[in-house]
Structure 1
Amino acid sequence: MEGKTCCVSGHRDILADETAHVKEALRQEIEKAVNDGFTAFLSGFADGVDQNFAEIILEMQNENPNLKLIAVLPYQKRMDSLYQKEHTNALLDACAEVIVIQEEYRPNVYAKRNRYMVEHSDRVIAVYDGREKGGTVKTIRFAHQFRKELREIPVGLNLDKNRTNLGQSRR
């Protein structure tokens, strides 16, 4: 991947009353990334935040054709199921590239996808509610482990209680 790369991680189940806030915060973080010279954007294409991120990138491509959306999918059947739905089919068709991590589903395939995205990114945007378990917190930990720039968009009510468990360090 050429240029600076940014990926996203976030929960699939953002509360309905927070969806507009999350989309606006994502847009602001993406705009900041573009202003900072980022041109490639990785999405794992899960429901919720990942697909919101992809939609915003594609909207912004209308103004800036240098932006590239890259789908990073965990396994082949996930790609097949995304192509079954009209909306995600259109999103995938608009991607500059679709990367499939492995052929078959295995219990750790989502962690492998998230690790791949972090390893291949310079910045990680995380929409995070403070949960101590799940893909988003693991992705945040990968960002710390690989010393990637981390930009958090806080949501929900669990944040204060768990924030100390992760640390707040940013490069």
Structure 2
Amino acid sequence: MIKIIAGTGHRPEKLGGYNDEVFIRLIALCKVSLQKMQATEVISGMALGFDQAHEEAAIELQIPLIAAVPFKGQEDKWQPQDKERYEHILFQTSSIVYVDLFEEYSASSGYSSEKMYKRNQYMVDHCDEVLALFNGSASGTGNCVNYAESLSKPVLNVWKSWVKYRGF
């Protein structure tokens, strides 16, 4: 049985920062969660923070990964080490989808928060369940979780586990 898991979660500044220790812990949490959810395929949005940990977990577990990129050049303003990780992940995906090229998900040209929202819609529309790291704040992650719930897609929010694991 195919079970596609989409991932959504916060950026590093809401998760303890941009450091390897935090990233390694995020990957561990994602690996346990993907195994619990019995994922056979993963779709992820390629953003910094939780998204990339979700992607790395899928790669380590050898679960096929679909990169749902909101638009070409998403990583252009990132730090060099973040761009390197992004390229490393893209190289290992089973497919790359540029969401803004689909008519039903198109948005204004260049960067826009609308493109991030459309990317989230695409992921939820094409998954069976959602793995979230969501602290309850108004955010893109919150919008994604709300959209999934509006479609009655199951959402596993691992925020409480993250807080306990991190010791916040």
Question: What TM-score range do you get, normalising by the shorter chain?
Answer: 0.7 to 0.9
Gaps of 5+ in 1: 62-66, 157-171
Cα RMSD for the two superposed structures: 2.5
Matched, 1:15 2:37: no
Matched, 1:32 2:32: no
Q: CA deviation at 1:26?
A: 1.5
Number of aligned residue pairs: give it: 146
Matched, 1:99 2:105: no
User: Quick one: distance in 2 between partners of 1:87 and 1:142?
Assistant: 28
Matched, 1:69 2:65: yes
User: Quick one: distance in 1 between partners of 2:56 and 2:117?
Assistant: 23
Residue of structure 1 equivalent to 2:147: 142
- Offset from partner CA, 1:11-70 (integer Å, 9 cap, x none): 002114865554332221111123xxx311011010010001111111111xxxxx2101
1:1-171 superposed matches below 5 A: 3-13=2-12, 14-16=15-17, 21-34=25-38, 38-61=39-62, 67-78=63-74, 85-102=83-100, 104-105=109-110, 106-131=112-137, 133-154=138-159, 155=162
Query: Are the aligned partners of 1:70 and 1:98 in contact in 2 as well (CA < 8 Å)?
Result: yes
Q: Percent identity?
A: 26
Please state whether the residue corresponding to 1:126 is helix, strand or coil.
Answer: strand
State the AA in 2 paired with 1:59: E
TM-score (ref. length: structure 1): 0.75
Q: CA deviation at 1:3?
A: 2.4
Q: Give the ranges of 4+ consecutive aligned residues of structure 1 lying more than 2 Å apart after TM superposition.
A: 16-25, 79-82, 84-87, 103-107
Give the structure with the larger strand fraction. 1
User: Quick one: distance in 2 between partners of 1:76 and 1:143?
Assistant: 25
